[in-house]
Amino acid sequence: MAGINAARSADGKDIFLLDRADAYIGVMIDDLVTKGTKEPYRMFTSRAEYRLKLRSDNADQRLTRLGIDIGLVKAERRGHFERKMKMLKKYGSLMDDLSISPNEAAKFDLKINKDGVKRSAKTLLSYPTISFKQVMQIWPELADIPDDIVEQIEIDATYSGYLERQEADILAFRKDENLLLPNTLDYKAIGGLSNEVSEKLDEAKPATLGAASRISGVTPAALTALLRYVKRKDKKASAQ
């Protein structure tokens, strides 16, 4: 990250950031900046709130496009990535379009609730008791899907229900991360902040409201006061 941003700075480009929902290195950097450490830092998966998304199997889907956008991915790797994404989209759409009723599924010994609601092939894969091989017995055309794409679709289907909820959490997180805090902010001038909190914020100089929320000792009440102060300053600046 330091090397990427040193090169971008030399070229006069904007800083490149990975946040806590992008990658483990984003978690590590954010922890070190907002919380500090008095001993060697260890990157445990438990430190990441969005670890269901930060999996090794989807690292290319999360990060390769970002690497392409900033010129870090060579043509060969880019070609492999784009072919994979094209196949995931193609076969993912196919599995969304194929559907079966509970009564029809029972003929293939698939145990799902008989509620009259049709399930797509991808939804069937989200059931822990149903394998891709069983789904393929219903739709033999799925045998054409390459093994590596099958593996990715299976993993994505397994986590789909949990990821939908986590995506809502990530949207809320990104909303806070989008509220930038000026580096020159005078925290002692903000009413409602204790001396201890204002000193911690002044020392850490968090870049966003989200980063401020992760500093030890910064309470929800302090965040509310900070949010109001920044928005009030933004309104005054806009009016001038």
> What pLDDT shows up at residue 182?
86
pLDDT-wise least confident of 5-14, 100-109, 157-166: 157-166
Listed residues 124, 145, 176: the one ending a domain? 176
> Residue 31 falls within a domain, yes or no?
no
Close Cβ partners of 219 (under 8 Å, ≥ 6 residues apart): 197
Q: Are residues 95 and 138 in the same domain?
A: yes
| Mean pLDDT, rounded, for 217-232 | 86
- The mean of the pLDDT values for the chain is 90
Contacts 24+ apart (CB under 8 A), 106-115: 108/134, 108/137, 108/138, 109/134, 110/134
Number of domains in the chain: 2
Q: Are residues 209 and 169 in the same domain?
A: no
pTM: 0.77
| d(C-alpha 199, C-alpha 188), whole Å | 8
> Residue 34 falls within a domain, yes or no?
no
> Residue 20 falls within a domain, yes or no?
no
Identify the CATH number of the domain in which residue 78 sits: 1.10.10.1800
User: Is the pLDDT assigned to residue 221 strictly greater than 70?
Assistant: yes
> Residue 199 falls within a domain, yes or no?
yes
- Which helix (H) or strand (E) segment holds residue 167: the answer is helix 147-177
> Residue 113 falls within a domain, yes or no?
yes
Identify the CATH number of the domain in which residue 195 sits: 1.10.150.570
Listed residues 156, 176, 196: the one ending a domain? 176
> Residue 89 falls within a domain, yes or no?
yes
Q: Are residues 164 and 97 in the same domain?
A: yes
> What pLDDT shows up at residue 165?
86
> What pLDDT shows up at residue 238?
60
**Residues 21-80: pLDDT tens digits?**
999 999 999 888 888 878 888 988 888 989 999 999 999 999 999 999 999 999 999 999
Domain extent for 109: 71-176
Q: Are residues 86 and 151 in the same domain?
A: yes
> Residue 161 falls within a domain, yes or no?
yes
> Residue 104 falls within a domain, yes or no?
yes
| Mean pLDDT, rounded, for 201-208 | 90
> What pLDDT shows up at residue 99?
95
> What pLDDT shows up at residue 236?
63
